[in-house]
Amino acid sequence: MAGGKSDYLEQKLLDAVLGGATFTSPATVHVALYTSSPSDSGGGTEVAGGSYARAAVTNNSTNWPAAVAGAKSNGTAISFPKPTGDWGTVVAFGIHDHPTAGNLLYWGPLVAQVVASTSPAPTFEVGDLTVTEA
């Protein structure tokens, strides 16, 4: 993955590991799709309209099995609503701690794919969404 961890999450983890500050993982993470990629500092252009909503994923070891070799992938399918309008060309994903706002945690590129009103509901099948620590 050429993406990474957000600046927000880097700061929280540094403070938790070195300094003893508490960081509580979100109970649910929300996967977003982007037509312009975010970066470690955030930004990007998230899909909007056409029944788009971030996909909520309970943050547990079933949905996110143990990391292997510095990588963690989804253990269950992650599905978005069926588009009722054109979403544009999706080029990246983000993992957030809130369904509509909040903080970006991780992000990464995707193979560009046009999502139109005639497209099926976008889905990350098991193992298709991978976050790495490098």
- What is the predicted pLDDT for the residue at 1? 46
Task: Mark the ranges of the chain whose per-residue pLDDT is less than 70.
Answer: 1-2, 134
Q: What are the tens digits of pLDDT across the range 101-126?
A: 999 999 999 999 999 999 999 999 99
Please tell me the predicted confidence (pLDDT) of residue 34.
98
Tokens of residue 22, six digits: 């508490």
- Residue type at 26 in one-letter notation: P
User: Any idea which residue has 């079933």 for tokens?
Assistant: 62
- Give SS3 for 130: strand
Classified as helix, coil or strand, 123 is: strand
CA distance 86 to 119: 9
- Residue 20 is predicted with a pLDDT of 86
